[in-house]
Amino acid sequence: MNTALSWIKAYVPDLSCTDQEYCDAMTLSGTKVEGYVRTDRNLEKIVIGQIEKIAPHPDADKLIVCQVNIGAETIQIVTGAPNVKEGDKVPVVLPGGKVAGGHDGGPMPEDGIPIKAGKLRGVPSNGMMCSIEELGSSRDLYPEAPEYGIYLFPQDARVGADAVEALGLRDTVFEYEITNNRVDCYSILGIAREAAATFQKPFVPPVVTVHANGEDVNDYVSVTVEDTDLCSRYCARVCKNVRIAPSPQWMQRRLAAAGIRPINNLVDITNYVMAEYGQPMHAFNLDTVAGHQIIVRRAKDGDVFQTLDGQLRRLDSEVLMICDADKQIGIAGIMGGENSKITDDVTTVLFEAATFNGPNIRKSAKRIGMRTDASAIFEKGLDPVNAAAAIDRACQLIEELGCGEVVGGMVDVCQPIKPLTRIKFEPERINRFLGTRISTEEMLAIFKRLELSYDSVSNEIEIPSFRQDLQGFADIAEEVARFYGYDRIPTTLPSGEATTGKISFSERLEQKARDIAEYCGFSQAMTFSFESPKVFDKLLLDKDHALRCAVTISNPLGEDYSIMRTIPLNGLLTSLALNYNRRNKDVKLYELCKIYLPVSQSPADLPQERTQFVLGFYGEGNFFTMKGVVEEFLEHVGMRKRPVYDPKAGRPYLHPGRQADLVYDGKPIGYLGELHPKVAAQYDIGARTYVAVLDMPSIVEKATFDRKYEGIAKYPAVNRDISMVVPKSVLAGEIEAVLAQRGGKILERFSLFDLYEGSQIKEGFKSVAYTLTFRAKDKTLEEADVSAAMRKILNGLNQLGIELRQ
């Protein structure tokens, strides 16, 4: 919301401060100033001059030479402006001065345009006459300015006076951020009231008196509110013998500063009152209102209505309409109708100031697709008391501006107005809550400034109707805090029972996952949680795959962001692809992200959110590199049993011969593998890509940070190498399972040292060799101990069709 400081000062006449002081103080008391601009920025040495004489330029047809009286002297100015004549009063920038913009109204230079004395086609020119654009404004805000040429002052302007002042540009426009609880501050009066309280100066609102004629408004119009749930008050007044004309300059200037374009006296008055009181108003041409009857009721589904901007609007049964005896004539709180709008030949006007249901207006505006200045205010929910005040203010202005004749009385259809809120005054509790020692007197003084009255008999604070936001103890405490000053409240740390800082076990595991991934060369990625359902096709999932069942966003930013991921791979693969396409070499990424798995058909049930530890890389390394990272992690989170790798996982997005499900302690905990080349191609990754996924909740179940020291071996180890001829179908994992199972306690470890497939070995077999290390904790092993263990192992291997190599 933008307003000129001069308008605020009209109601806080004693206010005197610099722009910056105003900005800081208002922000600290809760009316946040987003910024401010001086309207006389870059306007220097500009006075009102009168053209005394115009002569043609000797050498240029399009130029004229003017003698301009600027009060103290008369100066010569050459101009090409087409619209000036002798006797005109014009803004003149003197040599050494500045104007804000060019005459074409284009973007204004940061530091303005300096004006110097010079010659035009050989004739000296000592200054410049200005257009409204050069003065940094526009015809939108100064409609009396000519389309091309110099701005002309009215004849009563004083020659030699400050032209900027005369244009009302010696002002500052402040932009405020008003929080949505302070609907009263969407108005000049609201902000002025805050300013008065902030600077501790008297607040002097306008005194409203309407003379009106002796007639009765009820003879002109009747009002019926059918849907009282959506309209708690409807005030109507009538003006007759209306004369449409421009509004006075002072009103135009104030509207202009607020960014509202002046149009004519009638429209300007409704806009002025909306800005001043924060109460939108509407004016109907009463002669077009059938039966001189206003009915407020909901539209019917499918109704079509032409708003005064000429557009056809489709309505539904939740849109509140203003109707006459025959037809709809306005969308309540949003926009009036084409059929009843004010035209230049209007004679009798019906003013409406109403209180509509905020949420309903908000939803209607959204559905119809037109959020107007009026609806933006109505949707916050207005004070019904303000409606009557605003309509009277409008009628007062009608009379003051000589715009028409106000008919006596007001039609007022009003639901019972809520009694004023009363809140118990508890000064000690306020101090205890704020951590302050503010005196009761100081608190009461603050309330007084805010027009909150104190009833010492009941010890209650009575809240005026315009402060709908004040409902309880905490609200009152905030008012005290704001005007005492947040900056004056002390800083302390919470006392009371000590608590222990904690990070959950699962978060500690995630930290370990990050550490290990990074030690292994992976950098952390973050990707969006929602994605396109096309991801399932990209990952080659069957049409009826269970993972296709996803949480779906009903109002996504587009199909590409419409489902919550059920597989964690897409984000990381997309990031790997981005790196690949940017020619980054050997890229390793990991992510700790969630998948969202629906648990039931019931819409009220929340999905299961499972954190996944996802790793992916292309470039140097292979399947076993990834396997190494996974095992490194498992070891560091205390999962020291042998994981089982099941190669028959059959995950469609992975290479059919290079993938494994990871089973730990009999439970699947994740998978890893090489990306299926078809999938890699879908993502435009032209290199072998490896991924691993660990399901963190499963890890949480099995992991531990407990460790026990097992001692360091004291007795010597005995090594045995076995070299085997193994059927190709037998996996190393199966051999190792035999070794682990049959080697007994004394088998300390084993390691593969040779693997060979080729011509030396018979068809269908491969050569595999392991070193086995035996050691006992309590003695030096004897040959017989080792031989016994070896025999058991060899028996077991025989059962797999394995022979010792000769």
Q: Is residue 530 part of the contact set for other proteins (CB under 8 A)?
A: yes
Among 132, 124, 128, residue whose Cα is nearest residue 114 = 128
Q: Is residue 579 part of the contact set for other proteins (CB under 8 A)?
A: yes
- Nearer to other proteins by C-beta: 134 or 479? 479
- Nearer to other proteins by C-beta: 348 or 421? 421
Between CA 423 and CA 476 the distance in angstroms is 8
Choose, by CB under 8 A, the member of 86, 507, 701, 757 that binds other proteins: 507
Q: Is residue 609 part of the contact set for other proteins (CB under 8 A)?
A: yes
- Nearer to other proteins by C-beta: 272 or 447? 447
Q: Are β-strands 123-125 and 231-240 bridged in parallel, bridged antiparallel, or unpaired? A: unpaired
Task: Extract the tokens encoding 727.
Answer: 């059927």
Q: Tokens 């069957």 appear where?
A: 542
Which range, of 383-391, 472-480, 657-665, 782-790, touches other proteins by CB under 8 A? 472-480
Q: Is residue 517 part of the contact set for other proteins (CB under 8 A)?
A: yes
Choose, by CB under 8 A, the member of 89, 193, 201, 362 that binds other proteins: 362
DSSP 353: E
Determine contact, residues 655/674, Cβ cutoff 8 Å: yes
Count residues near other proteins (CB under 8 A): 90
Among 204, 345, 358, 200, residue whose Cα is nearest residue 287 = 345
Give the C-alpha distances (Å, rounded to integers) separating 79 from 27, 55, 124, 150, 330: 46, 11, 11, 10, 50
DSSP assignments along 769-805, one per residue: EEEEEE--SSS---HHHHHHHHHHHHHHHHHTT-EE-
Choose, by CB under 8 A, the member of 520, 660, 692, 802 that binds other proteins: 520
Among 176, 185, 175, residue whose Cα is nearest residue 469 = 185
Among 276, 494, 530, residue whose Cα is nearest residue 390 = 276
Choose, by CB under 8 A, the member of 518, 701, 721, 803 that binds other proteins: 518
- SS3 category, 600: coil
If phi > 0 it is left, if psi is from -120 to 50 it is alpha, else beta; for residue 401 that is alpha
Between CA 285 and CA 118 the distance in angstroms is 56
- Nearer to other proteins by C-beta: 264 or 625? 625
Report the site for other proteins in 427-466 (rule: CB under 8 A): 432-436
Report the site for other proteins in 78-137 (rule: CB under 8 A): none
Choose, by CB under 8 A, the member of 2, 25, 32, 297 that binds other proteins: 32
- Nearer to other proteins by C-beta: 399 or 426? 426
Q: Is residue 379 part of the contact set for other proteins (CB under 8 A)?
A: yes
Least separation in angstroms between residue 19's CB and other proteins is: 14
Q: Is residue 575 part of the contact set for other proteins (CB under 8 A)?
A: yes
DSSP assignments along 425-437, one per residue: --HHHHHHHHT--
Least separation in angstroms between residue 5's CB and other proteins is: 19
Which range, of 84-92, 198-206, 225-233, 545-553, touches other proteins by CB under 8 A? 545-553
- Nearer to other proteins by C-beta: 552 or 719? 552
Task: Extract the tokens encoding 786.
Answer: 């080792």
CB burial of residue 45 (10 Å; 0-12, 13-18, 19+)? middle
- Nearer to other proteins by C-beta: 618 or 770? 618
Determine contact, residues 29/217, Cβ cutoff 8 Å: no
Between CA 386 and CA 389 the distance in angstroms is 5
Choose, by CB under 8 A, the member of 587, 662, 696, 724 that binds other proteins: 587
Least separation in angstroms between residue 204's CB and other proteins is: 25
Residue 335 burial (CB count, 10 A): 23
Choose, by CB under 8 A, the member of 498, 546, 712, 784 that binds other proteins: 498
Task: Extract the tokens encoding 475.
Answer: 């609200």
Report the site for other proteins in 613-672 (rule: CB under 8 A): none
Which range, of 21-29, 54-62, 99-107, 743-751, touches other proteins by CB under 8 A? 21-29
Choose, by CB under 8 A, the member of 18, 155, 343, 491 that binds other proteins: 491
x/- map, 154-193, other proteins, by CB under 8 A: -------------------------xxxx-----------
